[in-house]
């Protein structure tokens, strides 16, 4: 029997010689081939879990371990890469300045020597936006010459 005309050719990876496969009855070969295809499909499903398919993690076997987070020593450090130019905060030009002095000391005295600023705290407040409303009063009137009703138009 030629291999091209053989309705049940020898599958790869079975470990059966071509002679033994040819000596196997055709009816047996036609039963074995669909079983091998079914086995291959089932084995491919067997190795699926939530990490390599669309299945949810709750369908994973309890015996499989999830990857744990890396320890803090192995993780990448937070922040920008070394050498990256920074973007420091800049104080804006104030519209008003309020100077605050310390209250009385815990001992009860309120006289201080060498007062100097040590911290600037800026508070930004956006102004309330009020719409500008313009009423355009359009008038109409009858022409005294021809009697036509003429109306004003809104300018572009």
Distance CA 116, CA 92 (A): 21
Two tokens, residue 54: 């669309």
How far is residue 134 from each of residues 66, 131, 137, measured CA to CA in Å? 66, 10, 9
Q: Are 139 and 152 in contact (CB under 8 A)?
A: yes
pLDDT of residue 122: 93
pLDDT tens, position by position, 13-31: 778 888 888 888 888 888 8
Q: Are 64 and 49 in contact (CB under 8 A)?
A: yes
Tell me the DSSP string of 72-99: TTTSPPSSSPTTPPP----PPPPS----
Instruction: Map out the domains of the chain as residue ranges.
Output: 1-46
pLDDT tens, position by position, 100-126: 989 888 888 888 889 999 999 999 999
Q: What angle do CA 57, 63, 66 make, to 5 degrees?
A: 50
CA dihedral 144, 145, 148, 150 (to 10 degrees): -60
Q: What is the pTM of this model?
A: 0.35
Confidence of residue 131 (pLDDT cuts 50, 70, 90): very high
> What letter does residue 58 receive in the DSSP assignment?
G
Distance CA 66, CA 68 (A): 6
Two tokens, residue 65: 């371990």
pLDDT tens, position by position, 40-89: 888 888 878 888 888 888 888 887 777 777 777 777 778 888 888 888 88
């Amino acid at each position: 029997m030629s291999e091209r005309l053989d309705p049940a050719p020898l599958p790869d990876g079975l470990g059966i010689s071509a002679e033994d496969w040819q000596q196997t009855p055709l009816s047996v070969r036609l039963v074995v081939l669909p079983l091998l295809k079914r086995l291959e499909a089932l084995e491919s499903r067997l190795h699926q879990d939530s990490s390599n398919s669309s299945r949810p993690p709750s369908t994973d076997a309890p015996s499989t371990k999830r990857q744990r987070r890396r320890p803090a020593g192995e993780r990448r450090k937070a922040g920008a890469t070394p050498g990256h130019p920074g973007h420091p905060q800049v104080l804006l030009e104030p519209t008003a300045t309020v100077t605050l002095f310390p209250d009385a000391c815990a001992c009860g005295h309120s006289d201080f020597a060498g007062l100097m600023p040590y911290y600037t705290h800026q508070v930004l407040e956006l102004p309330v936006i009020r719409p500008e409303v313009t009423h355009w009063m359009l008038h109409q009137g009858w022409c005294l010459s021809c009697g036509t009703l003429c109306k004003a138009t809104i300018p572009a």
